[in-house]
Amino acid sequence: MSAHRRNYMQSKVVTVTLNPALDKTITIPQLEVGGLNRVEQVRLDPGGKGINVAKVLKKFSVDVIATGFLGSEGEFLQRSLQKLGIKTDFINVPGVTRTNLKIVDNQTKFTTEINELGFVVLDEHLASFRKKLRHLLQNTAVLVLGGSLPRGVPPTIYADYISLAREYNVKTILDADGLALEEGIKACPFAVKPNVHELAGLMGRPLTTEKEIVAAGQELIKAGITIVVISRGSEGTIAMAKDEAYIVTPFSIIPQSTVGAGDSMVAAMAYAILQNKSLVETARLATVAGTVTASKPGTEVCSLNEVQLQLNKVQATWIEP
């Protein structure tokens, strides 16, 4: 093996965040649209889907590397991850790392999100990152792809990375929306985790009933995806594979913040894949992870111990696939 290859880090999971963010969470007593709002608390955290997944996986004691692009002001993001014990391997690009504003209404517990566009990525950056990713894939088991795409990145990018991962027998989890999801599923990732809104957009039709949601999930399974986990917020999860499907009903919580709930589900899915868990075990883990995180204030996320303690509180019901 060359010295160049020895310099690349090894990890069980690699998370890719092409459009990371500084998540600025502002907590206010009650949001007054068009009026003056006084801030109770301000918090700044590294953000973006893949980064959030990495934070949860670290709390699950999973060896993880966070990679992607970073613009200026990304030093804070990188230092914050390293303080959490998360290995990072980003490529720096010109432009400013975006700030995503999350306004938490303490009375309603609703979170209003305002996301900036972020930097522009050039072809040379894409080529450099693809080379980096190829090396990282040689020493990993699961690749997590998630989030929006920065300007300059084609919507086919996730499909390209899924195909690249397959060359190294690495299982991929895709959590995206819009064209990135539509193009990504054409490459048949191992698992996807759309919410109902994202799935409806992909299908081009409303999905209002359980039967309609299951039928849409079946289309993805028939297209070659191994595991489909559909998040439905407080209604729980529908998980599907080729010959089985389950509805998982969560336990009741007082929701504090939805920030990171979906990313916690993805992290639990990656953990389950590493542990060779069954579909129903995967669905239960993902549902509990999302629920526990939603019960926490601000940007706090679940730990593995918290998830394991609550597993017996969720109900998994077999449905005809």
In tens, the pLDDT along 72-113 reads 878 899 999 999 999 999 999 999 999 999 998 988 888 899
Look at residue 298 in the predicted model and tell me its pLDDT.
72
Whether residue 246 is predicted with pLDDT greater than 50 in this model: the reply is: yes
Domain annotation covers residue 195: yes
Domain annotation covers residue 24: no
- In this structure, are residues 187 and 220 in contact, taking their beta carbons and an 8 Å threshold? no
Instruction: List all residues 6 or more positions away from 314 whose beta carbon is below 8 Å from its beta carbon.
Output: 236, 248, 249, 250, 251, 284, 287, 288, 291
Mean pLDDT of 192-217: 96
pLDDT tens for each residue of 151-186: 999 999 999 999 999 999 999 999 999 999 999 999
- In this structure, are residues 45 and 142 in contact, taking their beta carbons and an 8 Å threshold? no
Whether residue 244 is predicted with pLDDT greater than 60 in this model: the reply is: yes
pTM: 0.93
Domain annotation covers residue 76: yes
Domain annotation covers residue 142: yes
Dist CA 157 CA 187 (whole Å) = 10
- The pLDDT-based confidence of 230 (bands split at 50, 70, 90) is very high
Mean pLDDT of the chain: 93
Known catalytic residues are 263
Whether residue 119 is predicted with pLDDT greater than 90 in this model: the reply is: yes
pLDDT above 90: percentage of residues in the chain: 85
Q: Would you state the structure tokens that stand for residue 272, as one six-digit string?
A: 């389950």
CA distances to 54, 55, 140, 157, 306 from 62, rounded to whole Å, are 9, 10, 12, 26, 15
Look at residue 254 in the predicted model and tell me its pLDDT.
84
Whether residue 238 is predicted with pLDDT greater than 80 in this model: the reply is: yes
Domain annotation covers residue 109: no
Domain annotation covers residue 12: yes
Phi, psi of 279, rounded to the nearest 5 degrees: -60, -45
How many domains does the chain fold into? 1
Domain annotation covers residue 283: yes
Identify the domain containing residue 186 by its residue range: 3-19+48-97+125-318
- In this structure, are residues 286 and 310 in contact, taking their beta carbons and an 8 Å threshold? no
CATH no. for residue 303?
A: 3.40.1190.20
Whether residue 13 is predicted with pLDDT greater than 60 in this model: the reply is: yes
Determine which of 28-37, 253-262, 264-273 has the lowest per-residue pLDDT on average: 253-262
Dist CA 68 CA 20 (whole Å) = 8
SS3 275: coil
Domain annotation covers residue 113: no
Whether residue 9 is predicted with pLDDT greater than 80 in this model: the reply is: no
